[in-house]
Amino acid sequence: MDEAESDLEIRPIDELDLDGIIALDEKIGGQYRPDYWEGRIAYFLRRDPEASVLAEFNGEVVGFMLGEVRAGEFGLDEATGWIEVLGVDPDHRGKAIGRRLAERMLLHFSRREAKNVRTLVHQEREDLFSFFAALGFESDPLRPLIKGL
Ligand SMILES: CC(C)(COP(=O)(O)OP(=O)(O)OC[C@H]1O[C@@H](n2cnc3c(N)ncnc32)[C@H](O)[C@@H]1OP(=O)(O)O)[C@@H](O)C(=O)NCCC(=O)NCCS
């Protein structure tokens, strides 16, 4: 185990992590969105408290992944794990933090007897496609459709 790995903790998210996640999102996307994250974190903690995970390096939030297990949606009988949103600190990328967050979340999904894990990625996000491909994700026969209103 190298030094970075030994100082890195991957653990379930709790409400006290809100400020760290807001700050990391702002660092990644340039927008300060406290209300958005308060709502999202509350939602995921209520729905599936053990699923969403955080990476901490020397006490600082350097990554997070929110998701949950859902069943019965879109005519899918079986339980499916959904990865909803993720972010790794740009100063800490390429150190397998994203991979370790996903491994922890997928372990939880398996324990909850999900048969698959799904996510949605914008077609222009080559970085996210490459990340998920490296983790073994493939194209899904279930395809999203949209119509403007
Ligand atoms: C995608 C992201 C999560 C990757 O995090 P990371 O910790 O750097 O990824 P890892 O080091 O765990 O990489 C895992 C695998 O994915 C691949 N990968 C990761 N980022 C990649 C990229 N940008 N391009 C190509 N491959 C990539 C790695 O090569 C690695 O493959 P390997 O294990 O076969 O060597 C991170 O870049 C990120 O947070 N991007 C922004 C996400 C975002 O916009 N979120 C919305 C707002 S919060």
Q: Is the CB of 96 within 6 Å of ligand 1?
A: yes
> Separation of 148 CA from ligand 1 center, angstroms?
31
Residue with CA closest to ligand 1 atom 13: 96
Lowest pLDDT segment from 2-6, 112-116, 145-149:
2-6
> Separation of 2 CA from ligand 1 center, angstroms?
19
Question: What pTM, to 2 d.p., does this model score?
Answer: 0.95
Confidence of residue 6 (pLDDT cuts 50, 70, 90): low
Q: Is the CB of 88 within 6 Å of ligand 1?
A: yes
Residue 117 β-bridge partners:
81
pLDDT value, residue 73: 85
Is residue 102 within 8 Å of 135, Cβ to Cβ? yes
Tell me the pLDDT tens digit for each residue of 69-97: 999 888 888 999 999 999 999 999 999 99
- Characterize the bridge pairing of strands 8-12 and 60-70: unpaired
Confidence of residue 3 (pLDDT cuts 50, 70, 90): very low
> Separation of 66 CA from ligand 1 center, angstroms?
15
| 107, containing H or E segment | helix 97-111
Tell me the pLDDT tens digit for each residue of 10-61: 999 999 999 999 999 999 999 999 999 999 999 999 999 999 999 999 999 9
Given the CA of residue 125, which atom of ligand 1 is nearest to it? Answer: 44
Is residue 100 within 8 Å of 55, Cβ to Cβ? yes
- What residue ranges do the domains of the chain occupy? 3-134
Among 3.60.10.10, 2.60.40.1180, 3.40.50.300, 3.40.630.30, name the CATH number for the domain at 3-134: 3.40.630.30
Q: Is the CB of 130 within 6 Å of ligand 1?
A: yes
